[in-house]
């Protein structure tokens, strides 16, 4: 007897998700499982992922850093989502991001994949001081475009949602520190986006008409400073917090500071802070013309994250 979850979708297009065990990927797979597509997830440890997905979802072994493991995973795939970020696992994340993207792009091309959908980061390519983290995100997108496979790249800034690393940083800093010595990066403009809106864009990309590779900058309704996110979280939680600007807190010291007061390790915290020194705002608004999505603002995004954290 066929599985009821698989009924009616055996002949639907096959969608591959690389990064299904990550924060965005883990939320995106259930969305795909609710529509008429066949879902395949790439996993380094399939046994850990299988209990988290529907019976109808394929879970195949593979590692983006092992090109030989990707051929079978890409076979028969129509759309491949690349939601991988190696920063937390690698000492040389730029080189590994580059190699992983090259491997994935080559496998997709050889398998005849029609489209790659990639979630990258905002930031001005012309900025000579663009952080290694953001520079690597942009390079990955370029590798996919150069592969010859149609690529839809979304560039997003801070993602707000319960469990996201950005939200965990805000939550932990605000909960633990009544008085914060704030480095200059807390005043850098950013355009946060709620995770639900990110998922909506990713979903819409699957049905976007063919038209060559495209890059879309996406963000929420508000441009704020990172300090404003802390203040908004504190307001919604009923916490009184004082932020004092201190221009001498370097990225190195900030990384150590974050390691002491948040769940992030020192290396991840430092990479994130290096990215926060760059403005991450939407400069090209064509996503509004192409997609019917109207992202929520900061208050609503934080409200939903706080509510979900309590659940």
User: What tens-digit pLDDT sequence spans the chain (311 residues)?
Assistant: 334 344 445 567 999 999 999 999 999 999 999 998 999 999 999 999 999 999 999 999 999 999 999 999 999 999 999 999 875 555 688 899 999 999 999 999 999 999 999 999 998 888 878 888 889 999 999 999 999 999 999 999 999 999 888 888 888 888 888 887 777 777 889 999 999 999 999 999 999 998 899 999 999 999 999 889 999 999 999 999 888 877 665 666 666 566 666 665 555 656 666 667 788 999 999 999 999 999 999 999 999 999 998 86
Domain boundaries, the chain: 6-157+195-218+281-294
Q: Are 262 and 199 in contact (CB under 8 A)?
A: no
- To which residue do tokens 């994250």 refer? 305
What architecture is domain 6-157+195-218+281-294?
A: 3-Layer(aba) Sandwich (3.40)
Q: Give me the half-sphere count of Cα atoms (radius 13 Å) on the Cβ side of residue 24.
A: 28
Torsion-angle region of 303 (φ positive above 0: left; ψ -120 to 50: alpha; else: beta): alpha
pTM attached to this predicted model: 0.90
Give 245's contacts (C-beta < 8 A, 6+ positions apart). 182, 184, 186, 187
Residues facing 150 on adjacent strands: 115
């Amino acid at each position: 007897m066929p599985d009821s979850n698989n009924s009616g979708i055996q002949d639907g297009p096959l969608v591959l998700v690389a990064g299904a065990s990550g924060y965005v990927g883990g939320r995106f797979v259930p969305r795909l499982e609710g529509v008429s597509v066949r879902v395949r997830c790439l996993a380094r440890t399939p046994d850990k992922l299988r209990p988290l997905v529907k019976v109808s979802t394929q879970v195949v072994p593979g590692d983006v850093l092992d090109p030989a493991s990707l051929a079978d995973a890409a076979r028969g795939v129509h759309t491949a989502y690349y939601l991988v970020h190696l920063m937390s696992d690698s000492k040389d994340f730029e080189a590994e991001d580059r190699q992983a993207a090259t491997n994935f792009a080559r496998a997709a091309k050889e398998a005849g994949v029609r489209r790659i959908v990639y979630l990258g980061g905002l930031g001005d390519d012309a900025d000579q001081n663009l952080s290694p983290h953001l520079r690597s995100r942009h390079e990955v997108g370029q590798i996919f475009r150069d592969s010859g496979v149609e690529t839809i790249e979304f560039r997003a800034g801070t993602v707000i949602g319960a469990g996201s690393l950005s939200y965990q940083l805000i939550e932990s800093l605000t909960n633990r520190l009544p008085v914060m010595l704030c480095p200059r990066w807390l005043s850098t403009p950013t355009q946060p986006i709620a995770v639900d809106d990110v998922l909506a864009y990713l979903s819409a990309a699957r049905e976007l008409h063919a038209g060559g590779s495209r890059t879309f900058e996406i963000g929420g309704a508000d441009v704020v400073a990172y300090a404003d996110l802390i203040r908004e979280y504190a307001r919604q939680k009923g916490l009184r917090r004082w932020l004092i600007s201190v221009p001498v807190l370097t990225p190195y010291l900030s990384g150590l500071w974050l390691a002491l007061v948040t769940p992030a390790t020192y290396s991840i915290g430092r990479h994130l802070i290096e990215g926060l020194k760059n403005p991450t705002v939407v400069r090209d608004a064509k996503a509004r013309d192409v997609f019917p999505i109207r992202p929520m603002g900061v208050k609503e995004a934080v409200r939903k994250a706080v509510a979900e954290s309590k659940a």
